[in-house]
Structure 1
C-alpha cells in the first residue's frame, strides 16, 4: 500500500463567483450578494496524489466540494486491507455526515491531484436556514451519494471479475466510442471491485491484449466504450 506522505495544501480563499464548477456545487443557487454574506471563510485546498483529506472517525468540522481530480472514500478492514465505497468526481460533496453531528464515516484520499473547497459546517447550516435552494441541493447530493453507494454494491461487487472491471472503466467517465481517462492504481481497482491486486493486473493486461484499452505514458488510458459495454453485460 502506498504511504500517505503528503498533505492538502491551503492555496487561499475560494472565489465562488468565478468557480468553474459552480453550477454543479452546493452554492449554485446563490447570488453574488449572498456569497459575500457568508459568515465563515471557504478555503481552497490543493490535494496532492495519495494525500489524505480526512480520516475515518475524525471530528468532522467541514464538508468538501471537489472541483478537480478524483478522490476515493474508503473504509479500513480488520485484515489490514481497504474497501473503497465511493469515488468522488468534480461537483461531488464529501463529509456531509458532519451536518448531523457525526464523525467522518470514511477516509478520503486523492487518487489524482485534486482541488477542493473546504466549507465550514456552520456555513452550510446557516444557508440551510436562510436559502431553500441550498437545502434542496444538499438533499439531492445526499440522495446521489446513497445511489452511488448502491451502484458500487450492485455493479462493482457482483458478476464475473472481468464484467466488474468493465463497469468500473465505464463508471470512470467513458463518454464516446473511444475515451481517455487517468486510471486508479491496480491496488485501488482491487479495493473497488473486491478482488486482489494481482487479479486486477491480470484483467487489465487481458483487456490490453484484446484491444479494449491502450495504456499511454503518465497513466492515461484510451478505451473502447462499445467493447467494454458489451463485456459489462456479462
Structure 2
C-alpha cells in the first residue's frame, strides 16, 4: 500500500492516518521514487493500476457500507474486516474499531453501532479484547 500520495503531488494531506493494528512503515523520498518509476515504466503502470484498484475498492465499499439498515451496515463492515484479515496467515482474531469509529464509518450514531454489536457479542460472535490496544475481536 502507498500512503502520502499528496506529498508526491505537492498537496497537503487531507486526513490523519492512525494504525489500529501493528504496521510496518517505510519512508521514501518522493523525488527518488519518481525518478525510479520513470526509469521503469512497467513499475509505474503497476503503481497506477494499484491506485486505480484502491480507489475502485474504496468507492465500492463506501457504497456498500452506507446503505441498508444499521444491522446490515454492521454486518457488511464485519465481513469486510474478516476479508481483510484473511490474507494474514495465523490470525485467530479480527480487530474491530471502537463503536464511535464504527458509527462514523457507517453513518450511524455511536449508540446505534453499540446496539447492533452487543447482540452479536452475546451470541458469541465477537468477544472483548484489550480495548485500548485492539478493540473487540471476532473469531476468524
TM-score, normalised to structure 2, is 0.79
Structure (1 or 2) with the greater strand fraction? 1
1:181 aligns with 2:90: no
CA RMSD for the aligned pairs? 2.1
Q: Could you say if the C-alpha distance between residues 198 and 115 of structure 1 is closer, same or farther in structure 2, counting changes exceeding 3 Å?
A: same
Pick the aligned partner of 2:74 from 165, 170, 175: 165
Structure (1 or 2) with the greater helix fraction? 2
**C-alpha contact 1:157 1:193 (8 A) present in aligned 2:** yes
Aligned to 1:93: 2
Q: 1:93-150 CA distances to partner (integer Å, 9 max, x unpaired)?
A: 1222333332223221122232211221112211121112320222022112211321
Aligned to 2:89: none
Within 5 Å, give how 1:6-155 maps onto structure 2.
92-155=1-64
Aligned to 1:199: 112
Structure 1 segments (4+ residues) deviating >6 Å: none
1:214 aligns with 2:123: no
CA shift at 1:153, angstroms? Answer: 2.1
What is the SS of the residue equivalent to 1:108?
Answer: coil
Q: 1:26-71 CA distances to partner (integer Å, 9 max, x unpaired)?
A: xxxxxxxxxxxxxxxxxxxxxxxxxxxxxxxxxxxxxxxxxxxxxx
What is the SS of the residue equivalent to 2:76?
Answer: helix
Q: 1:208-234 CA distances to partner (integer Å, 9 max, x unpaired)?
A: 2334x131432452348xxxxxxxxxx
Q: Could you say if the C-alpha distance between residues 220 and 201 of structure 1 is closer, same or farther in structure 2, counting changes exceeding 3 Å?
A: closer
Aligned to 1:190: 103
